[in-house]
Structure 1
Amino acid sequence: MAVIETVGLTKAYPGVTALDRLDLAIGEGVTGLVGANGAGKSTFIKILLGLVPATAGTARVLGYNTATEGASVRALVGYMPEHDCLPADVSASDLVVHLGQMSGLPYAAARERASDVLRHVGLAEERYRPIGGYSTGMKQRVKLAQALVHDPRLVLLDEPTNGLDPSARDDMLSLVRRIGADFGIAVLVTSHLLGELERISDSIVVLDGGRLLQSSATADLLHATGSLLVEVQGRPDADRLLGQALVDAGLAARPAGGRLIEVDVRDEHTPDQVRDLTVDLGLGLVRMQERHHRIEDVFRQGGAGHVQPA
């Protein structure tokens, strides 16, 4: 059974269609939902939680119809909102305990679960301090902890790395991956940063203007392209010299940004030809690797809006 399933899901506001006839099935593991700002990601999550009604179509979460069984969905799902909504004068421990009780846990169980999840997200020492004194990264961890306190079967994480510096972003991504891999909880995580979702997701859903652009396993989305990325050094125009030599040798080659050259693989001898031509020109071969698709290639091919590569 799919964890999330939609059929013809549509949400229209005056003058704009946030979701347009979305047919989608999402399974276990970590699923990345990627799209530019305004692509419909947050609207999609709110519909899944039963907080916003769809204009047309249906959505089911863990077998429940979100339009008629929203309370049952929310009892089994954890939600980490994008925007900061934490009370400044309350400690992380008290907040997570309170939200655990609101989810139906007895007080003693809520305290035990809060202690466990705050330790898992790295707030064991700071959990009794008022949240108002927390850094942005610590606040994001509190939001993640409250989404996990009631032991949900699915968590919906809306832009969990929003506002984080690179180090804190890496830590958050590691936590998200652990939720799916170690805890066995299904995860739907949204981001407009492409590289983040490539790193942690088992599958990827790409939205553009409310429409489904692609849905597939991450490995399938990032399959090999049949070309090599080559970087050389030794002269300021090293890439141009090698590129011309490759073309003269009958290989298809083109600039790939920076000092990189993309070379189409003609047969198993192509890497040897690239290496030999580099040596003949007296250049140094920095790297030669198989090129794989990136998520931004899907947007480029589909004509989607701007999404950052991270």
Structure 2
Amino acid sequence: MADPEADTLELPPVPDWGRGRPRWAAQRIHPRRIGIGHRKLISQFRDWTRAEGHPAAGRAKGARLGGLALAALTTWRPLVEDPRLLALAGGSYLVAAWRASRPTPVTEEELQRRFLLGVQELIGDRPGIHVRELYDRLQAQPAAAHLDDTRLRALLVRCGVPTQQMRLGDVGGRIGIKAADVAALLSPAPVDTSSGPVDAGQHLPEEVVDQPETGCRPPSAHSQKEPFMPDHDITVRGHITLPDGSAVACPDCGTDKELTVYGPDGGAGHLMCPSGHHFPPPAPIDPYRLLASAVADPRTEFLS
């Protein structure tokens, strides 16, 4: 069980869409960083002396060992006779070890993969999970306590997770996520998303039943390319920004603030300004992808 006082969580690995400066600062001053860099340098030196992967590994290994022996013989006496050179060499090695262990930035793809792994961990051995249960369990974790329902929904859009009406056990008619769809997003190879019998040890057998509905699209071979249908309207305070930096504006009145992205009941894929003008998004921009990108900006406020 996770410690509520801990500053990080092992599961679920919910990504923080900020820069993470406090964590980076902690890594810069971490006392074990030199030790980590030392082990990396030793490993690289060992691989270099073994000449692994070299076309002529035996000859290259002998030449490298001979060069190291010659360098040791020529530098040993000056280092012993002049302590300043020894201190300079030791300081240079410490700097090299420090630089070798510098943290690498985490890519957005890696953050999305961690989020999908967290969703998969919450699903467990069940065939799927209802979105409401997923939101509640994620928000119960300290690492995701700052994410409301709208931001979590947009995060699912960002990661390309399809949703649909599904039945789990005796609870049906709710929007949920299939475990096979999450596995397909995590696997580079195609994964069979057909539902099969699952024995998770529950008293009531759980089975994913796809039902015809108007609010969500069933997953398909092109689900990654098709627009995602939210289950209700979402209003954004401020601007919805295009990739080129310009804001989406109503073609009738020119308003670019407090736009509403309409869900299925109001005509999925359309926008509305505060004056009530309906208009499609600038083709071929998907409004829900624009909405998902707003999650990365902490200044974005959602009114609904």
Bucket of the pairwise TM-score, normalised by the shorter protein? under 0.3
Give the greater-gyration-radius structure (CA): 2
* Structure whose residues are more often helix by fraction: 2
Length-normalised TM-score, structure 2: 0.24
Structure number with greater CO (CA < 8 Å, separation at least 6) is 1
* Structure whose residues are more often strand by fraction: 1
Length-normalised TM-score, structure 1: 0.23
